[in-house]
Amino acid sequence: MNAGTQRGRRPLAEEEIRALDAHFAATGALRDRAWFTVGHLCGFRIRETLSLRLRDVVDAGRIVEWIHVSRAHMKGRTQGRTMVLHPVGRRVLAAWVEELRKMGWVDARAFVFQSTRLAPHPEGHAITSRQALRVLHAACAACGIPDRLVGTHSLRKTFAMRLKGVLPSVVDIQGALGHQSLNTTQRYLSSMPEDVFNAVRGIEFEIPDEENNGEDAPVVHI
């Protein structure tokens, strides 16, 4: 499948999100767990997530509460978008950023989701959306999740489905997702049966996480 072709991708159910997160945690895939978590908790497109640099996620030694993707990396390049980062996302991201530090990635310009296959320099190279798709499909296979309709855009659609349960109107959801067209938002929200809508509505997302030390803003030594 073309990594850029996202039409027809489906949201992930909550049990699928938890299974995939557990797989990444159990296999020590801190990087992949981090972009996966940012994707389904912030709703950025995969290219937007992979554009993040350390300066975008760390401030004064702590993981930020709000993540901003600049206009240059947004679809259409008309405006940037800022999204609050769920506490689970902050903990998972902190674990990966700390690992980056141990590997020598301390430059604020360095990409957060580094590729290990390319020669390093101060900024490094982010993994590609195609690499992310391969990782996601491999994780789905390991978890017994059919991946025919699963893509990296499934994370954004999962986020949209969660919003449906907590925001009062489709217009509010449109603003949170950064859609230019209300019709696009409505297509997102009609892609799964009502029983799945009910399953994600109003969920307070939490996962078992050994890195949770009770701090609102995880400290990273970078």
- CATH code assigned at 19: 1.10.443.10
The answer for residues whose C-beta is within 8 angstroms of residue 124's C-beta and 6 or more apart is 105, 110, 111, 114, 115, 118
Rounded Cα distance, 10 and 59, in Å: 34
131: which 2 tokens?
A: 């690499």
Residue 172 lies in a domain: no
How many structural domains does the chain have? 1
Q: What is the DSSP letter of 126?
A: B
**Residues with catalytic function:** 45, 75, 153, 156, 179, 188
Please state the pTM of the whole predicted model: 0.77
Indicate whether 45 belongs to any domain: yes
Task: Give the residue numbers spanning the domain of 145.
Answer: 14-150
Residue 179 lies in a domain: no
Whether 185 is in a domain gets the answer no
The predicted pLDDT at position 171 comes to 42
Residue 193 lies in a domain: no
CA-to-CA distance for 174 and 182, rounded, in angstroms? 6
**What span, in angstroms and rounded, lies between the C-alpha atoms of 60 and 161?**
33
How high is the pLDDT of residue 173? Answer: 47
3-state SS string for 175-192:
HHHCCCCHHHHHHHCCCC
What string of pLDDT tens digits covers the 222 residues of the chain? Answer: 444 455 678 999 989 999 999 999 999 999 999 999 999 988 888 999 999 999 999 999 999 888 888 877 666 656 677 777 888 888 999 999 999 999 889 899 999 999 976 656 778 999 999 999 999 999 999 999 999 999 999 998 888 877 765 555 444 445 444 545 545 545 544 443 343 334 333 445 666 655 454 455 566 655
- Bridge-partner residues for 126, per DSSP? 114
- For residue 30, the model assigns a pLDDT of 97
Residue 158 lies in a domain: no
Q: Is residue 32 part of a domain?
A: yes
Residue 64 falls within a domain, yes or no?
Answer: yes
